[in-house]
Amino acid sequence: MHPVATGAGSSAPPGVAPPDEATRREAAAALPGGTYGRLEDLAAWLAACQGRAPARAPRRARAVLFAADHGIAAAGVSAHAADETAARVAAVRDGVAAVCRFAEAAGAGLRVVDVGLAAAAPGDERDDRAVARGSGRLDVEDVLTEEQALAALRSGREVADEEVDEGADLLVVGELAVGVSTPTAVLAAAMTRREPVAVVGRGSGIDDRVWMVKAAAVRDGLWRTRAVGRDPRGLLRVAGGADLAALTGFLAQAARRRTPVVLDGAATAVTALLADADAPGARAWWVAGTRCPEPAQALALDVLGLEPLLDLQMRAGQGTGALAAVGLLRAAVSVTG
């Protein structure tokens, strides 16, 4: 099993160094030799990320969710109302959302950051990082300006730095956004050179009629990305969104800060693909939590060489799938002792 790719690359600025390969080999040599299957590979990877063998259980796991509204939601691409995102953010901040219970079970702190809600939601001022109030409709216009896209990337990097500086040794990422699977599908198709029909899933549980509306939006959005090709920053500006840009910046910066991350569903997998293109070698610092039904996730993880730790077919998003897998990382450490 290869939970992560082991190669390194470079980017400017700065490059991303891989986890410690010598430590990984040392940790692997002390393991039972296959008795615990993929848990042993996970234990060796975590040791390499920590630079110590044997690995220790994460002491401060943190889940970060980025929230934004997507203009394309108004086109009716989701089973949920376009204005539901703000209610989801409020539920998390009030501690009553399902993801709050997932975080508690995983022993992880939970933070939600507003990078693009149409209207600000009550909460900690430091987590109001909105670079735009909503976004454009990806099928007919760029979703962000260049300045907004760069600001969202920067916000993601800053949040990653804050979490690591405050002691996080394991990060979990997710998104809070109605309609996010539509831009996610566009980005996946653009990065993997696939046709819209290959990337459009059922998202929030849509029926055939809504699926056709969504497929048309993805087709039109993909057509509009031709001018930027597979440039990550250009794609985020044309057809991504503030939350997806922030996720991209967060993932790249976490890798630069040598901190392991558990990916969630399709949105985090596709932004990981963008982050690794923008900062080659970053993929070595990530594992995929669980498989979801969205084809965009499968395409992105295939390119990244990541095999999900679980196959729960969860479509809830919001970091729940990744949080469900945190227990496996804790269990992996126990196989060494």
CA distances from 275 to 109, 281, 284, 304 (A): 24, 9, 12, 11
Mean pLDDT of the chain: 92
> How far, in Å, CA of 335 to CA of 337, rounded?
6
Mean pLDDT value of segment 107-123 = 92
Asked if the model's pLDDT at residue 9 lies above 80, the reply is no
- Report how far residue 237's alpha carbon sits from residue 186's, in angstroms, rounded to the nearest whole number: 12
Q: Which of 101-110, 174-183, 195-204, 215-224 has the lowest mean pLDDT?
A: 195-204
CA-nearest of 59, 107, 53, 22 to 336 is 53
> The pTM is what?
0.93
Helix (H, G, I), strand (E, B) or coil at 155: helix
pLDDT band per the 50, 70, 90 thresholds, residue 125: confident
pLDDT tens digits, one per residue of 286-326 = 999 999 999 999 999 999 999 999 999 888 889 999 999 99
pLDDT at 82: 82
Residue 3 has a pLDDT of 36
Cis peptide before 13 (omega within 30 of 0): yes
More confident residue, 121 or 16: 16
Q: What confidence score (pLDDT) does residue 213 get? A: 93
Please report which confidence band the pLDDT of residue 242 belongs to, taking 50, 70 and 90 as the band edges.
very high
Place of tokens 């848990």: 39
Query: CB of 123 within 8 A of CB of 103?
Result: no
Q: Which residues touch 296 (CB under 8 Å, ≥6 apart)?
A: 181, 184, 185, 187, 188, 189, 199, 201, 266, 269, 270
Q: What is the pLDDT of residue 283?
A: 98
Architecture of the domain whose range is 61-324: 3-Layer(aba) Sandwich (3.40)
pLDDT at position 11 is 34
Going along 215-337, which residue ranges are E strands? 261-263, 286-288
- Boundaries of every domain in the chain: 61-324
Q: How confident is residue 116, by pLDDT bands cut at 50, 70 and 90? A: very high
Q: How far apart are CA 185 and CA 196, in angstroms?
A: 8
- Residues with Cβ within 8 Å of 328's Cβ and at least 6 positions away in sequence, in order, are 39, 42, 309, 310
* Res. 8: pLDDT tops 50: no
Query: φ, ψ for residue 67 (rounded to 5)?
Result: -115, 140
Average pLDDT over residues 256-273: 97
Mean pLDDT computed over 142-171: 97
Q: What's the pLDDT score for residue 14?
A: 55
With 60 as the cut, is the pLDDT of residue 240 above it? yes
Cα separation, 263 vs 251, in Å, equals: 9
Q: Are the C-beta atoms of 230 and 277 separated by less than 8 Å?
A: yes
Q: What are the tens digits of pLDDT across the range 22-40?
A: 999 999 999 888 888 999 9
